[in-house]
Structure 1
Amino acid sequence: MNEFEAAKAKAAAAYNAAADYFDHPVSSFWHRFGRRTVERLGLRAGETVLDVCCGSGGSALPAAEAVGAQGKVVAVDLAERLVALGKTKAREKGLGNIEFEAADMLSLGYPDASFDVVVCVFGIFFVPDMVAATRELWRMVRPNGRLAITTWGPELFEPANAAFWEAIRDERPDLLRGFNPWERISTPAGLREMLAEAGIGEAEIVAEAGSHPIRSPDDWWLIAMGSGYRGTLTQLDGATLARVRERNLALLERCEAITTNVLYSVAVR
């Protein structure tokens, strides 16, 4: 298995495992930032949208509402269980203009200039080559269309993130990660550089500082179980998982919020 295939399998496994907690109310930020991404695009009735790394529809569902019955949204994600959640929500909302599909954003097979808008929220950093992935998304944008890439800003989920990895270090230091891929693009300068390497000369980039309240350390654990951290947690046996949870939560006894800084970028082709 090459590097790309390994990264793809790892991301799919983590988020399929996380699907049972992904839409828990404590993790409402997925949908909040998805909706904000769509609001910044100013979608028009009748437009066609491709949403990659769509999760359970945080940006795809509001996009479908915005483009109306004459428009269309294609929403894809590697995690089949998240796609299933999105399909259910679209059906419950009566949205007949959206298609959810379990697929790889780099091998969709659409011709050049297939969509008015392409969206990727918290997903571009899951591929080993973000520049190549961005170039592929840009290829599918029509002239005068838009590409929206939303990613995490600095200090993601702190102080809970540091507490999580400290707890992992105590039990399974072999699972520690030396680098989070989104860190390269967690500042406007870093994101702009990556976009430029992908052939996008101009983009509007907005950095938004934020925090997400947690009522107790248990809220953080639910967030971890419903996010990419689940990929690490699934590698622990039951006893180790219990110790990691206890240690992680003990370090957050006085924590009332976690950092959720975000970068929004929109480029017009």
Structure 2
Amino acid sequence: MSELDMARTRAAAAYNAAADHFDHPVNGFWDRFGRATVAGLNLQPGMRVLDVCSGTGASALPAAERVGADGYVLGIDLAENLLVLARQKAAAAGLGNVEFRHGDMLTLGLPDAGFDAVVCVFGIFFVPDMAVAVRELWRMVRPGGQLAITTWGPDFFEPANSAFWQTIRHEAPHLHKAFNPWDRISDPTSLRAMLREAGIVNVDIVEDSARHPLASPEDWWTTLIGSGYRGTIDQLDAAAFDRVKQANLNFIEQNGISAVQANVIYALADKPV
């Protein structure tokens, strides 16, 4: 299996599993940053939007609201379980102008310049060669349209993130990760360099210093199992699972942690006419 195929398989498995807690109220950061990404776009009624790595619709649904009944939004994700939730949310909101499909951003086969805006929130870093993926997304933006890439900034979920990985290293060293995939573009310089490699030179990059509140130690565990960390957690045996969970709960409680860092970087590029 190629590196790309392994990345696809890991991401799909992790987020299919995380679907049971992905939209838990504790994990409201998905909607928060999805809506913020869409708010930065110049969307008008009747426009067409492609949202890749769409999850349960955190950016696709507000985009559908913005483009109205005469517009169209296509959401793509590898995790079918997340798409089921997205379709349910669209139906509940009465949004008939949004469609969700299972697929991979690199093999969509959609026509050139088919969308007024292409969006990717917290997903581009799962691809081993991010520049290749961005070139594919840029291809589908019409002249005069926009590409929005949102990624995690520095110190993601710290200080609890480091504590989690320390417990994993202690319980299951083979599952420990020295770095997260988003670390490759977690500052404006590295993000801009990646976009330049993809052929995008003129891009606005905005950093957002944000925090994710934790009302209780259990909130941190809910965040872990409702996100990509689930792919690691589900590989633990029952005894190790219990010890890792308890160690994380203890860390939050003993250190009086009421929030973790959730810094975000937004990149927005206008395609020349």
Contact 1:90 1:98 in 2 (8 A): yes
CA distance in 2 between counterparts of 1:176 and 1:104 reads 26
Deviations 1:213-244 (A, max 9, x none): 10111100000000000000110111110001
Contact 1:7 1:128 in 2 (8 A): yes
1:267 aligns with 2:269: yes
5 Å-filtered alignment, 1:121-160, equals: 121-160=121-160
Shift of 1:125: 0.4
When structure 1 is superposed on structure 2, of 84-93 and 170-179 the one drifting more is: 170-179
Shift of 1:250: 1.1
Question: What's 1:48 paired with?
Answer: 48
Question: What's 1:108 paired with?
Answer: 108
Question: What's 1:244 paired with?
Answer: 244
CA distance in 2 between counterparts of 1:11 and 1:95 reads 27
CA distance in 1 between counterparts of 2:232 and 2:226 reads 12
Shift of 1:249: 1.4
5 Å-filtered alignment, 1:17-96, equals: 17-96=17-96
Shift of 1:42: 2.5
Deviations 1:156-177 (A, max 9, x none): 0011101111111111011111
CA distance in 1 between counterparts of 2:223 and 2:13 reads 17
CA distance in 2 between counterparts of 1:264 and 1:218 reads 29
SS at structure 2 position matched to 1:266: strand
Question: What's 1:161 paired with?
Answer: 161
Contact 1:166 1:248 in 2 (8 A): no
SS at structure 2 position matched to 1:41: coil
CA distance in 2 between counterparts of 1:12 and 1:126 reads 11
Question: What's 1:193 paired with?
Answer: 193
5 Å-filtered alignment, 1:155-234, equals: 155-234=155-234
Q: Which blocks of at least 5 consecutive residues in structure 2 are unaligned?
A: none
Aligned-CA RMSD value: 0.6
Contact 1:163 1:252 in 2 (8 A): no
CA distance in 2 between counterparts of 1:168 and 1:104 reads 30
Count of aligned positions: 269
Equivalent of residue 258 in structure 2, options 256, 259, 263: 256
Q: Which blocks of at least 5 consecutive residues in structure 1 are unaligned?
A: none
The amino acid across from 2:107 in the alignment is: S
CA distance in 1 between counterparts of 2:217 and 2:158 reads 13
CA distance in 2 between counterparts of 1:202 and 1:148 reads 13
- Percent identical residues: 61
Q: TM-score, normalised by structure 2?
A: 0.98
Shift of 1:179: 2.1
Contact 1:52 1:75 in 2 (8 A): yes
SS at structure 2 position matched to 1:193: helix
Structure 1 stretches of at least 4 aligned residues deviating more than 3 Å after TM superposition: none
